[in-house]
Amino acid sequence: GGTFYNDAVLRSFEKISGIEAVRPDIAGIMGAFGAALIAREHYSGEETTMLSIDQINELKYETSIARCGRCANNCLLTINKFTGGRRFITGNRCERGIGKEKNADHIPNLFEYKMERYFSYSSLTEEEAVRGTVGIPRVLNMYENYPFWHTFFTKLGYRIVLSPASSHKIYELGIESIPSESECYPAKLAHGHIKWLLNQGLTYIFYPCIPLERKEIDGANNHFNCPIVTSYPENIKNNVEELKNSDIVFENPFMSFENDKILSARLVEIFTAKPGITKEEVMEAFDAAWKELAAAREDIQKKGEETLAYLKASGRKGIVLAGRPYHIDPEINHGIPELINSFG
Asked whether residue 72 carries a pLDDT value surpassing 70, the answer given is no
pLDDT score of 94 more than 90: no
* Structure confidence at residue 62 (pLDDT): 85
Confidence of residue 341 (pLDDT cuts 50, 70, 90): confident
Highest mean pLDDT among 116-120, 166-170, 279-283, 328-332: 279-283
pLDDT at 58: 83
What's the rounded mean pLDDT across residues 167-184?
Answer: 87
Instruction: Please give the pLDDT value at position 105.
Output: 64
> Among the listed ranges 47-51, 161-165, 275-279, which one has the minimum average pLDDT value?
47-51
Q: What is the pTM of this model?
A: 0.70
Q: What is the DSSP string of 17-48?
A: HSS-----TTGGGHHHHHHHHHHHHT--SPPP
Q: What is residue 33's predicted lDDT score, i.e. its pLDDT?
A: 92
What pLDDT, on the 0 to 100 scale, is given for residue 135? 94
DSSP result, 172-193: HHTGGG---TTS-HHHHHHHHH
Asked if residue 230 lies in contact with residue 253, where contact means CB atoms within 8 angstroms, the answer is no
Q: What is the dihedral of CA 116, 117, 119, 121, to 10 degrees?
A: 120
**Pairing label, strands 76-82, 133-136:** unpaired
For residue 152, the model assigns a pLDDT of 94
What number is the average pLDDT over the span 170-186? 87
Residue 77 has pLDDT above 80, yes or no: yes
Asked if the model's pLDDT at residue 103 lies above 80, the reply is no
Mean pLDDT of 286-295: 92
- Least confident span in 48-52, 162-166, 207-211, 212-216: 212-216
Measured distance CA(126)–CA(160) in Å, rounded:
10
Q: Residue 102: what pLDDT?
A: 55
- Pairwise CA distance, residues 338 & 30, whole Å: 27
Specify the pLDDT at position 1. Answer: 83
* Least confident span in 83-92, 259-268, 290-299: 83-92
Instruction: Report the pLDDT averaged over residues 13-25.
Output: 92
pLDDT digits (tens, 9 = 90+) for 128-143: 889 999 999 999 988 8
pLDDT at site 195: 94
Average pLDDT, the chain: 87
pLDDT at 161 over 90: yes
pLDDT surpasses 70 at 204: yes
Percent of the chain with pLDDT over 70: 95
DSSP letter for 226, please. Answer: P
Long-range CB pairs of 196-203 (<8 Å, 24+ gap) are 196/163, 196/164, 196/170, 197/135, 197/136, 197/137, 197/161, 197/163, 198/240, 198/242, 198/243, 198/248, 199/173, 200/135, 200/161, 202/133, 202/134, 202/135, 202/161, 202/248, 203/247, 203/248, 203/249
pLDDT value at position 338?
84
Q: Residue 225: is its pLDDT beyond 80?
A: no
Spatial distance between the Cα atoms of 344 and 321, rounded to a whole number of angstroms:
15
Rounded distance between C-alpha atoms, residue 137 and residue 48, angstroms: 48
Band (213; pLDDT cuts 50, 70, 90): confident
Q: How far apart are the C-alpha atoms of 45 and 282, rounded to whole Å?
A: 65
Task: Please report the pLDDT score of residue 205 as a whole number.
Answer: 94
Instruction: Please state, in angstroms and as integers, the Cα–Cα distance from residue 41 to each residue in 48, 82, 303, 319, following that order.
Output: 15, 31, 34, 20
Least confident piece of the model among 4-13, 113-122, 156-165, 226-235 = 226-235
The residue count for the chain: 344
From residue 161, alpha-carbon distances to 137, 203, 209 in Å are 8, 11, 19
Pairing of strands 61-67, 76-82: antiparallel
